[in-house]
A = this chain, B = another copy of it.
Amino acid sequence: MAKADKDWKAEAKELRAKLKKLRGKLAAEPAKAEEGKKVKAPNPVSPLAPKGGFPALPVIAGVEFAAVEAGVRYANRKDVMLVRLAPGTAIAGAFTRSSTRAACVLDCQAKLKEKVPAEAGAAIVVNSGNANAFTGALGQEAVDRVTGGVAEALGVPASRVFSSSTGVIGEPLPCDRITARIGDLQGALDAGGIEMAARAIMTTDTFPKGASAEIDGEGGKIRIAGIAKGSGMIAPDMATMLVYLFTDAKIAAPALQKILSRTVDETFNAITVDSDTSTSDALILAATGQSAAAAITDLRSPTAKAFEAALKDVMLDLAQQVIRDGEGATKFVEIRVTGAKDAADAHRVAMAIANSPLVKTAIAGQDPNWGRIVAAVGKSGAEADRDRLSIRFGEFLVAEKGWRSPNYSEADGAAYMKQEDLVIAVDLGLGKGKRTVWTCDLTHRYIDINADYRS
């Protein structure tokens, strides 16, 4: 049996490689233009994309997905997705704190405050290609029409239909194109459609993002599956990008929200591509309660703790996939800060390093330029003492006690920087505050992508 397993594994590996090659070819082929609509040639898949393509995600009882081509902005791709959530589903959310946030974000926040009973059922409708942000009064009208249309079709209250829009800012959302397809979306609903949904919400993403976990509850399994999109304009504040998480756990909305809120800081709020925060970031977590396991009521119970840990794993996995798809990224970089006065200071230092264009270009150039890390620590505003600071590249101690470590050799540093995944560790030597964040390098490709986004 063990041998058979091994053969299987080898075959799967081979197939995956073939698939990847094929997908790469496909991505390289220019898409055909439909009349009157723009066609965006897909970007080549990020070199940091997880090997093996989209993961197999468990079906979450009570959740169905559909996606269609509505032509919101681009042709020849699915750009609207619908999720139907069974009656009894509890909903929690986290959103951007941008003061110019989009109409759909404001709408989601208002609806979550209404606390409509879970028995009513719920739905999520998302389009890519247009962010419906900074579109004045028309913005809210578009949200009302889309969520109203879905509510009517599915027979759920409009206050339980949550929407997101992602794409260009400042252009009116052509919501007729979306409402015209609601019937088709409803007809296509499928419990196994999560990958299709993950693809429909992509913008500059080069691969769809999914992750899952499973734990043993009391009396049955509890499953979690999530999808996310995000590639640029990534510097979350409170939540980030578009993220949809589904679980069959039995748990009431207030407890679900509590767990979500305390998990966001060390996952989606701990990543940055370019320090730019989106107007549309939204995360929705839906718990259908259809697992056979007993309800989670006490947040200190072993099941609650296991659930929270599993949820955090899924969130961190998705957050890291967003970085692995960072616009133009060729390096995946973990910044570990320890020894800070407190966690807030550690976060400040980690983000100052992660967002420094000089650090990010040095990494792109495979230059172990630790002086730029010292400068980033210095500008962070956090308490720091030059003579207590130490810096490591992976296992190599680079600098300590205010100067280059006597055992550090530039050749070691240069060899280390050639790796695809890097760990930069900074210890401030002051206290117990710590925080790890993830980022990518800043390359020519980032500029190629962003100096011409709208054309």
Task: Report if A386-B134 is in contact (Cβ < 8 Å); known contacts: A403-B170, A444-B444.
Answer: yes
Binary per-residue interface labels of chain A (398-440) against chain B in the complex, 1 for a CB within 8 Å, 0 otherwise = 0101111000000000000000000000000000000000000
A98 interface hit (Cβ, 8 Å):
yes
Taking CB atoms, residues of chain B closer than 8 Å to A384 are: 99-100
Q: How far is the CB of A49 from chain B (nearest CB, A)?
A: 22
Q: Which of A376, A387, A399, A447 has the most CB of B within 10 A?
A: A447
Q: Which residue of B lies closest to A364 (CB)?
A: B451
Interface segment, one of A182-190, A220-228, A271-279, A302-310: A271-279
Binary per-residue interface labels of chain A (137-177) against chain B in the complex, 1 for a CB within 8 Å, 0 otherwise = 11100000000000000000000000000001111000000
Q: Which residue of B lies closest to A441 (CB)?
A: B451
Count of residues in A whose CB is under 8 Å from the partner chain? 70
**Pair A100/B447 contact, Cβ less than 8 Å:** no
Interface segment, one of A73-81, A109-117, A195-203, A351-359: A351-359
A57 interface hit (Cβ, 8 Å):
no
**Pair A100/B375 contact, Cβ less than 8 Å:** yes
Binary per-residue interface labels of chain A (57-95) against chain B in the complex, 1 for a CB within 8 Å, 0 otherwise = 000000000000000000000000000000000000000
A101 interface hit (Cβ, 8 Å):
yes
Interface segment, one of A4-12, A24-32, A208-216, A230-238: A230-238
Taking CB atoms, residues of chain B closer than 8 Å to A402 are: 134-137, 139
**Pair A404/B374 contact, Cβ less than 8 Å:** no
**Pair A134/B170 contact, Cβ less than 8 Å:** no
Interface segment, one of A13-21, A248-256, A312-320, A365-373: A365-373
The complex places the Cα of A100 from the Cα of B135 at a distance, in Å, of 44
Q: How far is the CB of A447 from chain B (nearest CB, A)?
A: 5
**Pair A403/B134 contact, Cβ less than 8 Å:** yes
Q: How far is the CB of A29 from chain B (nearest CB, A)?
A: 25
**Pair B386/A235 contact, Cβ less than 8 Å:** no
Task: Report if A389-B100 is in contact (Cβ < 8 Å); known contacts: A235-B379, A375-B169.
Answer: yes
**Pair B276/A358 contact, Cβ less than 8 Å:** yes
A450 interface hit (Cβ, 8 Å):
yes
**Pair A278/B375 contact, Cβ less than 8 Å:** yes
Q: Which of A232, A356, A375, A376 has the most CB of B within 10 A?
A: A375
A362 interface hit (Cβ, 8 Å):
yes
A454 interface hit (Cβ, 8 Å):
yes
**Pair A276/B356 contact, Cβ less than 8 Å:** yes
Q: Which residue of B lies closest to A389 (CB)?
A: B100
> Contacts A100-B375, A170-B370 given; 8 further ones with Cβ under 8 A?
A99-B377, A101-B386, A135-B402, A169-B372, A170-B403, A275-B356, A367-B451, A443-B447
- Can you give 8 A-B contacts (C-beta < 8 A)? A99-B377, A99-B386, A133-B375, A169-B374, A232-B358, A233-B375, A365-B451, A444-B447
- Which residues of A come within 8 Å of B, CB atoms? 96, 98-101, 131, 133-139, 168-171, 232-233, 235, 237, 274-279, 355-358, 361-362, 364-365, 367, 369-372, 374-380, 382-387, 389, 399, 401-404, 442-444, 446-447, 450-455
